[in-house]
Amino acid sequence: MVNALLQPDEGKSDVSRFKDAADFAGWSKTAIGSLAAEGILSGYPDGTFRPESKITRAEAVVVLNNAIQFATKTRSDIYNKAGVYGASSGVPSIVGSITVNASGVTLLNMVILGDLTVDGAETSGGITLQNVIVRGDTHINGGVNLTSVVDSTLGSLQVCMKSGDIRITAEGSTVIHRTALCWSAALEEKQLTGEGFIDVLLSREMAVGSGAELTGDFEAVNVDRNEVKLLLKRGTIRTVTFGKDSGGSVGYVGYDGKKSTIEHLVLDAVITIFGQGTIETATLNQGAEGSKFERKPGQIDGPQAGSAVIPPVGGGGSAPGGEVSVPTPPGDTAPPIFLATYPQWAAVSETGAQVTSKMNEQGQLYAVAVLQNDPAPTSAQVKAGLNSGGSNALSYAQSFAAANAEAVLQLNGLSAGTDYDIYAVAADSTGNMQTMPVKGSVKTSGIAPLKFVTASLPNGKAGIPYAVTLESSGGIGTRYYSLTSGGLPIGTAFSSAGVFSGTPSVAGTYTFTLRVTDSRPASAEQSFTLTVEPPEPLTFVTTTLPNGKMGTPYAVTLESSGGLGTRNYSLTSGGLPIGTAFSSAGVFSGTPSVAGTYTFTLRVTDSQPASASKTFTIVVEPPEPITFITTSLPNGKAGTPYAVTLESSGGIGTRYYSLVSGGLPIGTAFSSAGVFSGTPSVAGTYTFTLRVTDSRPASAEQSFTLTVEPPEPLTFVTTTLPNGKMGTPYAVTLESSGGLGTRNYSLTSGGLPIG
């Protein structure tokens, strides 16, 4: 876990310093080595690491402290370019101190153990903190006019701008424990689910005439500077304290209407409070004598409670009983005026426009963007961010504006190459607003900004091929991708076409930054986090083996799953059936020659190496009994060729035949292959016993009877002779049938024709 959070240099992964390094799991060696190289892990005094031992609570504290010291010293960074920095998802980035010197920066999923400093030469633009925890102090010194803090936690926030205006928004689950101002600032809570701004201080370093505008719910606000302004635009403050050095300062409660409440106001100096918002209790201490209120608090107490100056209903003049009327809330009823050459309008990017304003008094500046030639909105609609039809404008911005100082609004989310009309309107701190908005026109650049469309990467798995193609948009011409920082999962590659490919071989969480560049060249960067999950556990899929039979060929291929790379099999204990073999590919083969039950253990090993073992049992059954299939023989005939092949079954291997008793017919023979052949020459009945024997040897016997029938009777087929003619050659061959063997002819009586 510590290795995944800190991501130290994996090139320093030697574990040979530990005496028991051979006991380390393959997947853990890189992490242990790299953490040991950075001094985060050190092992035990005897030179061992003891990977199988449980870590104690004290040891865990030491490791975490070492990790924090490592991150604080080595993981600090400076961001000089717009972009997203941090972890896009999953485990947050752990860093030391961070300095942001450019607008357009987003810090994402980050734990900052040191300080966060925002500075720079710019006077406009914004930064965003999203899911960020700052353990040290956060300093906003310049370079931006908007800081958005989303779902983040800041312990101490100090705002000491060198120039320009600043608005800080707290959104989502954000908590900002302490905020100290030495420069005018607007603090706003938006769609808040957390505590937001808790304590706010207008410090002694603030300039005379500067102030703070608050929107939301605040726990405590303290004013330590004289002649400054505290404006509660909308919301609630539990306790507001104007200290003894704050004399001449002014408070506004609900200058944007009556939707504001101060639950407890404590005055230690003479203060004037304007506005129609609610003050539940006001405590006037020594030094606050003669403080003035536009609207009477619900309750006034304290040593100087009787000195409060409150205008009579209807205002003006002296009230009965000697009450002193207040010549203000301010008699100013005129709206602010834009100074010469202001507002100024500019398209600052493919999707953004900018309004720069300077007006004669402090107040608030509002602006909206609509499509060119759309009907003009009213001042009230501009203030609310609406178009003339009462719907949300295409873009809306607002900002606190100091007197005679430039205030800049950024209108974002516009389309490239499009004409827009921009309407701006100003209101002063007492709510006097210009009756007509001022109109300007801009055209955004025709080139859409270069940006990543792919915002996150799917998880991979060690040993499984991984392929993802990144997508981006905008820019000009061909887009090329490159790795700018961090490291890819081992076994993978990243091409200039934006294609991840390969087979990751080491599980872990990998964070890196990619850049896309177009033909201008312009570029954009995006931080990605890719989690490579461990491979599935190595296991046997084949859990049993089929029975074999003695003398019958046996072939089975084992199957397994999980693991990484090539799997090799081996026999670790027990014995295989005689006549069989087992290969490293997991193949049983051979012909078992001895019946019986064989139990043995096999191991499968992958490339990590990881292994799994399984015990198997093979039953080798005995062969079928050897037996004659041929149980009788056909009759033969004396003098006629005779051929019969015996058949048998069962047994093992080659079967051989033999005559064990009796005699064969004269003229015939019997081979070891079980073949009768020959020509019987003597009729009769012959009884004999034959044996068949296999390779074990096992045998079976069978008695046979073979009848040789007599030959057919000897007889002349030719019974007459043709006539002859004197002097003409005469030739006739006699034919006969039956009998046995060669037939010979002879003259037994009478005489043949002369010649």
Q: Which residue has the higher pLDDT, 50 or 104?
A: 104
Measure the CA–CA gap between 294 and 309, rounded to whole angstroms.
Answer: 9
Q: What percent of the chain has pLDDT over 90?
A: 63
pLDDT of residue 332: 58
Residues 146 and 196 in one domain: yes
Under a CB-based contact definition with an 8 Å cutoff, are residues 183 and 164 in contact? no
Q: Which residue has the higher pLDDT, 226 or 330?
A: 226
Q: Report the pLDDT averaged over residues 606-610.
A: 87
Which residue has 């499968």 as its token pair?
604
DSSP state of 392: B
**What does the angle CA 442 – CA 448 – CA 452 come to, to the nearest 5 degrees?**
140
The alpha-carbon radius of gyration of the chain (Å, integer) is 52
Least Cα distance to 134 among 163, 100, 162, 164 occurs for: 100
Residues 218 and 348 in one domain: no
pLDDT of residue 164: 75
Residues 68 and 112 in one domain: no
Least Cα distance to 218 among 230, 236, 201, 231 occurs for: 236
Whether 339 is in a domain gets the answer no
Q: Which of 244, 278, 312 is the last residue of a domain?
A: 278
Residues 376 and 495 in one domain: no
Average pLDDT, the chain: 87
Tell me, what amino acid is at 534? P
- Tell me the pLDDT band of 601, cut-offs 50, 70 and 90: very high
Measure the CA–CA gap between 197 and 201, rounded to whole angstroms.
Answer: 11
pLDDT of residue 25: 66
Name the helix (H) or strand (E) containing 2: helix 2-6
pLDDT of residue 98: 92
Q: Report the pLDDT averaged over residues 637-641.
A: 93
Q: Is the pLDDT of residue 431 over 90?
A: no
Residue 352: CATH number of its domain: 2.60.40.10
Q: Which residues pair with 675 in a beta bridge?
A: 645
pLDDT of residue 281: 96
Q: What are 209's two structure tokens? A: 């005439």
For 704, phi and psi rounded to 5 degrees?
-125, 150
Residues 28-45: pLDDT tens digits? 667 666 666 656 666 777
Q: Report the pLDDT averaged over residues 120-149.
A: 87
Q: How far is CA 302 from the centre of its chain?
A: 61
Residues 153 and 271 in one domain: yes
Instruction: Please report, for residues 1, 64, 711, the alpha-carbon distance to residue 35 in angstroms, rounded to integers and kept in the order given.
Output: 11, 12, 105
Tell me, what amino acid is at 254? G
Residues 73-84: pLDDT tens digits? 555 789 998 888
- Tell me the pLDDT band of 339, cut-offs 50, 70 and 90: confident
Residues 128 and 102 in one domain: yes
Under a CB-based contact definition with an 8 Å cutoff, are residues 457 and 529 in contact? yes
Beta-carbon count within 10 A of 21 CB: 17
For 168, phi and psi rounded to 5 degrees?
-120, 125
DSSP 431-483: S-B-SS-EEEEEE--SSPPPEES------EETTS-EEEE--EE-SSS--EEEE
Q: Report the pLDDT averaged over residues 278-288.
A: 95
Which residue has 């009796």 as its token pair?
662
Residues 157 and 273 in one domain: yes
- Tell me the pLDDT band of 197, cut-offs 50, 70 and 90: very high
pLDDT of residue 275: 87
Q: Which of 492, 515, 533 is the last residue of a domain?
A: 533
- Tell me the pLDDT band of 321, cut-offs 50, 70 and 90: very low
Residues 596 and 616 in one domain: yes
Residues 134 and 174 in one domain: yes
Residues 241 and 255 in one domain: yes
pTM: 0.41
DSSP 648-669: EE-SSS--EEEEEEE-PPTTEE
Whether 610 is in a domain gets the answer yes
Least Cα distance to 67 among 34, 44, 115, 99 occurs for: 34
User: Exposed (0-12), middle (13-18) or buried (19+): which is 77, by Cβ within 10 Å?
Assistant: middle
pLDDT of residue 188: 94
Residues 569 and 513 in one domain: no
Residues 715-746: pLDDT tens digits? 999 999 999 999 999 999 999 988 887 889 99
Q: Is the pLDDT of residue 325 over 50?
A: no
pLDDT of residue 67: 58
Q: Report the pLDDT averaged over residues 664-691.
A: 95
Whether 656 is in a domain gets the answer no
Tell me, what amino acid is at 107? L
Whether 748 is in a domain gets the answer no
Q: Is the pLDDT of residue 697 over 80?
A: yes
Whether 353 is in a domain gets the answer yes
Q: Which residue has the higher pLDDT, 741 or 687?
A: 687
Residues 535-574: pLDDT tens digits? 989 999 999 999 999 989 999 999 999 988 899 999 999 9
Q: Report the pLDDT averaged over residues 195-222.
A: 93
Whether 723 is in a domain gets the answer no
Residues 376 and 505 in one domain: no
Q: Is the pLDDT of residue 220 over 60?
A: yes
Under a CB-based contact definition with an 8 Å cutoff, are residues 79 and 57 in contact? no
pLDDT of residue 318: 30
Residues 4-15: pLDDT tens digits? 555 555 555 576
Q: Which of 444, 475, 502 is the last residue of a domain?
A: 444
Least Cα distance to 3 among 135, 91, 109, 113 occurs for: 91
Residues 498-525: pLDDT tens digits? 999 999 989 999 999 999 999 877 899 9
Whether 136 is in a domain gets the answer yes
User: Exposed (0-12), middle (13-18) or buried (19+): which is 611, by Cβ within 10 Å?
Assistant: middle
Measure the CA–CA gap between 723 and 700, rounded to whole angstroms.
Answer: 66
Q: Which residue has the higher pLDDT, 342 or 626?
A: 626
pLDDT of residue 7: 55
Name the helix (H) or strand (E) containing 71: helix 57-74
- Tell me the pLDDT band of 417, cut-offs 50, 70 and 90: confident
Instruction: Please report, for residues 18, 485, 665, the alpha-carbon distance to residue 65 in angstroms, rounded to integers and kept in the order given.
Output: 22, 26, 105
Q: Is the pLDDT of residue 21 over 90?
A: no
- Tell me the pLDDT band of 580, cut-offs 50, 70 and 90: very high
Whether 59 is in a domain gets the answer yes
- Domain hosting 371: range is 344-444
Q: How many domains does the chain have?
A: 5
Residues in the chain: 755
Beta-carbon count within 10 A of 418 CB: 18
